[in-house]
């Protein structure tokens, strides 16, 4: 399969070169930039990418804008962020993938990298996102802090090879700052999910992504004080994150802290305002 590439960026000069260098053999790359104030666009342009700009509101709208306005050469589009990198095995699997009218896209796994180490256990591998799809048929909707595919589950296949995700490339302080914003979105989404008990039925789904989403919605109904230690135990013990060594323990602590942020935002009521 020949595919175009859509990359979302904002102040990614430390990542964009590595991302673009991993796209060996791709002849159509579009960057959707959210107003970077560093050298992101200059680097991307110098490496042959086309640049479109749009103020950021959410990930789904940003990707949908790119699909609508990107003028892609190829029918199929691979979606990346600047801190994501393709491996030679990924490129080989994509080249061998036959285009089909039976699917609108593919769920793609990723490997979470911390301190140069793959978090094989703590990183919940494999988890999937719809990252490869037809330019006219795959669209996204915003859910919580991220996007989900806006197509039926049976219209998605499963891609066999992961890409690498360097989630912490900007440093841990920026990771936490970003996740404060994400926590507010997640708390809002969990409040909405709590009104839809049908999510429980999806625990029996044959689709792993649907089961994970249903489990997440059910965990969101637990007392907020219980969720951080439960998240830590789940990552470190049940998912065997301890086998990832120091990095696994560190990541389990980070996810536990993130769960506590979500819980704190869950206490807010409409009209509440922070005071200085």
- Please state the domain extents for the chain: 3-165, 172-266
In this prediction, residue 275 carries a pLDDT of: 44
User: Residue 152 pLDDT more than 70?
Assistant: yes
Return the exposure string of 242-260: e unless at least 16 CB atoms fall within 10 Å of the residue's CB, then b.
Answer: eebeebbbbbbebbbebbb
Q: Are 266 and 224 in contact (CB under 8 A)?
A: yes
| Cα 49 from Cα 250, distance rounded (Å) | 36
Predicted confidence (pLDDT) at residue 97 exceeds the cutoff of 80: yes
Q: Give the global pTM.
A: 0.86
Confidence of residue 74 (pLDDT cuts 50, 70, 90): very high
pLDDT tier for residue 223 given thresholds of 50, 70 and 90: confident
Select from 220, 230, 225 the least CA-distant residue to 200.
220
Q: What is the mean pLDDT of residues 193-221?
A: 59
**Tens of pLDDT along 100-138?**
999 999 999 999 999 889 999 999 999 999 999 999 999
Q: Which of the pair, 79 or 262, is modelled with greater confidence?
A: 79
Architecture of the domain delimited by 3-165: Alpha-Beta Complex (3.90)
The residue ranking higher by pLDDT, 242 or 198, is 242
221 pLDDT higher than 90: no
Q: H/E element holding 39?
A: none
User: Which DSSP letter does residue 180 get?
Assistant: H
Q: How far apart are CA 39 and CA 47, in angstroms?
A: 12
């Amino acid at each position: 399969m020949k595919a175009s590439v859509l990359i979302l960026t904002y102040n990614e000069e430390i990542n964009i070169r590595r991302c673009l260098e991993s796209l060996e053999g791709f002849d159509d790359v579009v960057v959707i930039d959210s107003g970077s104030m560093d050298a992101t666009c200059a680097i991307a342009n110098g490496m042959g990418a086309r640049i479109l700009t749009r103020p950021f509101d959410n990930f789904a709208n940003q990707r949908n804008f790119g699909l609508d306005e990107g003028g892609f050469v190829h029918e199929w589009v691979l979606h990346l962020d600047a801190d994501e990198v393709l491996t030679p095995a990924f490129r080989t699997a994509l080249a061998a993938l036959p285009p089909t009218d039976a699917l609108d896209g593919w769920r793609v796994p990723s490997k979470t990298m911390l301190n140069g180490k793959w978090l094989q256990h703590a990183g919940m591998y494999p988890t999937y996102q719809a990252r490869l799809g037809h330019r006219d048929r795959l669209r996204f909707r915003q859910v919580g802090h991220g996007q989900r595919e806006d197509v039926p589950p049976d219209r998605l296949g499963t891609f066999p090879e992961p890409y690498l995700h360097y989630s912490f490339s900007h440093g841990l302080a920026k990771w936490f700052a970003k996740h404060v914003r994400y926590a507010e979105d997640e708390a809002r989404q969990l409040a909405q999910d709590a009104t839809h008990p049908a999510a429980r039925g999806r625990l029996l789904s044959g689709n792993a992504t649907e089961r994970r989403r249903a489990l997440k919605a059910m965990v969101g109904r637990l007392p907020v004080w219980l969720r951080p230690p439960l998240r830590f135990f789940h990552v470190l013990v049940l998912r065997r994150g301890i086998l990832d060594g120091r990095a696994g323990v560190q990541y389990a602590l980070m996810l536990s802290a993130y769960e506590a942020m979500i819980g704190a935002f869950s206490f807010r009521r409409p009209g509440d305002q922070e005071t200085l």
